[in-house]
Amino acid sequence: KAGVTQTPRYLIKTRGQQVTLSCSPISGHRSVSWYQQTPGQGLQFLFEYFSETQRNKGNFPGRFSGRQFSNSRSEMNVSTLELGDSALYLCASSFPRDKPTDTQYFGPGTRLTVL
C-alpha cells in the first residue's frame, strides 16, 4: 500500500510570492493534517481536514490556508511568503475509522526555502 506522498519535495521561492503544496493521503484515509517543522519552533500543527471540511486549525496567520478535495487529496497555500516561512511542511493522514486514537502517518515533507 502506498504511503503518504507530498509534492514537490523541494521548493525555493522569494519573499512576497505564494506557494501551493500538495498531499495525497494513504488510500482510504479521509483525514489529512498539516504540520510545520522549523529548528526554532519545532513541529507545529497547522490545520486538519476531514471530508473536505477544515475541522481544526492551529495558531497561524491567515496567509496559511488549505483545502481538501473529494478524493481526500489536500493542498495548502501560503501567500505573501516571509523568510520565516522557510520550513519542512509535513502532511499526515489517518485511518478511516476516524477515532481520536487513530494513528497519523506522515509523508516525507516538502522543504520550502524562502529567499
Partner 1 sequence: GDSVTQMEGPVTLSEEACLTINCTYTATGYPSLFWYVQYPGEGLQLLLKATKADDKGSNKGFEATYRKETTSFHLEKGSVQVSDSAVYFCALLPVAGSARQLTFGSGTQLTVLP
Do residues 94 and 31 touch, judged by C-beta distance below 8 A?
yes
Give which of 76, 94, 97 is closest to 32, Cα–Cα.
Answer: 94
Residue whose CB is less far from partner 1, 4 or 19: 4
Residue from 19, 21, 29, 35 touching partner 1 (CB under 8 A): that is: 35
Smallest separation, CB 111 to partner 1 (Å): 9
Smallest separation, CB 69 to partner 1 (Å): 18
Cell 516538502 locates to 110
Q: Which three cell numbers stand for residue 23?
A: 498531499
For the window 59-98, what string marks contact with partner 1 as x by the rule CB under 8 A? -------------------------------x-x-x---x
Smallest separation, CB 100 to partner 1 (Å): 5
Residue from 11, 20, 22, 45 touching partner 1 (CB under 8 A): that is: 45
User: Maximum CA pair distance of the chain?
Assistant: 41
Q: Does 25 bind partner 1 (CB under 8 A)?
A: no
Q: Say how many residues touch partner 1, by CB under 8 A.
A: 27
Q: Does 56 bind partner 1 (CB under 8 A)?
A: yes
Q: Which residues contact 72 (CB under 8 A, 6 or more apart)?
A: 25, 29, 30, 32, 93
Do residues 85 and 18 touch, judged by C-beta distance below 8 A?
no
